[in-house]
Structure 1
């Protein structure tokens, strides 16, 4: 792994993940290795300050925290997920890069039961569209409560526009998650974040292959 986030590329990250998760079942290992070509990790890590404490909501197999630990960006990371199965792979990956003392992973029943913190950085990457629409505002509020004053909330999810990209996202979730999801509409997260004392500092649309991503970075007042 490059020591600088500036040198991270989808190809570099894919190779890193393929080696890191070598004890995972091969189909899962291949999916993890392919993810950097879809998810813009290279964009996300740049918003994590050096020596930060990080909470990753819906961490899955812990890939985002593994990247941050590998490049020496974080002081401590906590990952949580409602699915406990991927967390075993996350813990194994943390041990393999010598970061077991810096990375913790815990199962939760919902975002409200996540560790309280506060944390310098709270991340919610490709999570909100899996949460029922009626509960999404509360999920953003839960993330805001766990963000330290002056800290950063990183939100990334699939775009709902244009329709052909939205269809690609929905098909992807139906195939791999066996779930028919409703994408988060543009403007909703910004409104919920503002109500929770978060100030929008960065907004970016990131196209990757047939997918589109909406990145929002907020600062806790």
Structure 2
């Protein structure tokens, strides 16, 4: 995905409140969406679980018109923002947004890909595994699970990320959570869990040029 495509998606939010625009702009600047997009299939049903304001969902649709995107979000105000942005498409949008969560995915599938972009750290370990198993069941054989996460190394990046997430979730309350402690895993731990569930995994670091320990774990369903 080119940067210009992400900027086109950002432009869909021009009429929203300053707070929503600020949040979308910050996500675009701080998350390597363009690199994550390289792991998303170019066609088929793509489910973006915990899509937030829908920025990545819109960008993926602009980048690959043969994709059918379903964004799933629990927070009502974020879901509303995603739908307002959807209404500004100049052509029929291949994106739709529905209420739900990673634990209650309303899309039965079969899906070509399921995306979890900075979502699973909000859940305890047993719920993380539950989400991954349910996602595996909804994927077609050979389908892809794309987990965007934060690695535990280097330690200074991980510590900074934890501090920012505490502010966003506990203090400012930008993000909904179950209220428990954050759960981060090393890339090796994620790969081991993916294998146990039924994926062939590959972990890739994406943090070069960023002060967050961005990484992606891509699992192909066996």
Band the TM-score falls in, shorter-chain normalisation: 0.7 to 0.9
Aligned equivalent of 1:111, options 103, 121, 139? 103
C-alpha distance after superposition, 1:9-61 (max 9, x if no partner): 3xx36643442111221122022112222211111212223222100111111
Distance apart, 1:190 and its partner CA: 1.6
1:126 pairs with 2:127: no
Paired residue for 1:63?
Answer: 55
Distance apart, 1:101 and its partner CA: 4.6
Count of matched residue positions in the alignment of Structure 1 and Structure 2: 212
Distance apart, 1:125 and its partner CA: 0.8
Report if aligned partners of 2:161, 2:212 keep a CA contact under 8 Å in 1. yes
Paired residue for 1:183?
Answer: 184
Report if aligned partners of 1:17, 1:33 keep a CA contact under 8 Å in 2. no
State TM-score, norm by structure 2.
0.86
RMSD: 2.1
State TM-score, norm by structure 1.
0.86
1:102 pairs with 2:94: yes
Paired residue for 2:19?
Answer: 27
Quick one: distance in 1 between partners of 2:101 and 2:64?
A: 30
Larger deviation: 28-37 or 59-68?
28-37
Paired residue for 1:171?
Answer: 163
Distance apart, 1:118 and its partner CA: 1.2
Report if aligned partners of 1:112, 1:142 keep a CA contact under 8 Å in 2. no
1:16 pairs with 2:8: yes
Report if aligned partners of 2:49, 2:114 keep a CA contact under 8 Å in 1. yes
Quick one: distance in 1 between partners of 2:91 and 2:162?
A: 35
SS of residue in 2 equivalent to 1:50: coil
Q: 1:74 to 1:193 in 2, by over 3 A?
A: farther
Distance apart, 1:141 and its partner CA: 0.9
Q: Which runs of 5+ in 2 are unaligned?
A: 171-178
Distance apart, 1:220 and its partner CA: 1.2
Quick one: distance in 1 between partners of 2:144 and 2:88?
A: 28
Q: Which runs of 5+ in 1 are unaligned?
A: none
SS of residue in 1 equivalent to 2:38: helix
Distance apart, 1:88 and its partner CA: 0.8
